[in-house]
Amino acid sequence: MWQVWLILAGIFIIFEMIIPTDFLIFWVGIGAVISCVASIFVDNITAQIVIFCISSILLIFCTKPFVKKFMKNAPDVNTNAYSILGKKGLVISDINPVLCQGQVKVGNEVWSAKTVGTEVIPKNTQVTVTAIDGVKAVVTVNEKIDVKN
């Protein structure tokens, strides 16, 4: 019977690698290893199942705080397109929502832009990026600034 417990342990550990569950399935696999060792000394299948259940539950509940302490959940870092959310930009080509035209410069990047409303935002207007819709930056008006090109 120890072979069955060993195979189950391998399956649980492989599932943990495929489906990351914060070591939940891993501890069930370790419980199967404990049952594998117990099956060498105990022939009763009911006793082995009880050992498996108790050891798995104890491992899950006793090690969860320990695992969470070392598993660092880094805050989400916006990258690529979403890194411009909330940033200010300058309209470099009139934004016309009817004609679906307009460009805004955010930092060193030029983005196609649109607005939520129907207002036309003229060139040299300072805007804030509020969302990304496909490949366009959705902007709102901050203030009109005087920039001569």
CATH 2.40.50.140 domain extents, the chain: 80-144
DSSP 56-103: HHHHHHHHHHHHHHHS--PPP---GGGGGTT-EEEEEEEEETTTTEEE
pLDDT tens, residue by residue, 76-102: 666 677 788 889 999 999 999 888 899
Structure confidence at residue 65 as a pLDDT band (50, 70, 90):
confident
Q: Is 112 helix (H, G, I), strand (E, B) or coil?
A: strand
Q: Among the listed ranges 32-41, 59-68, 85-94, 138-147, which one has the minimum average pLDDT value?
A: 138-147
Asked if 133 contacts 117 with a C-beta cutoff of 8 angstroms, the reply is no
Structure confidence at residue 126 as a pLDDT band (50, 70, 90):
very high
Domain 80-144 has CATH 2.40.50.140: yes
The model's pTM: 0.48
| 49 has pLDDT over 90 | yes
Asked if 93 contacts 54 with a C-beta cutoff of 8 angstroms, the reply is no
Torsion-angle region of 2 (φ positive above 0: left; ψ -120 to 50: alpha; else: beta): alpha
CA dihedral of residues 111, 136, 130, 142 (deg, nearest 10): 50
Higher pLDDT, 31 or 79: 31
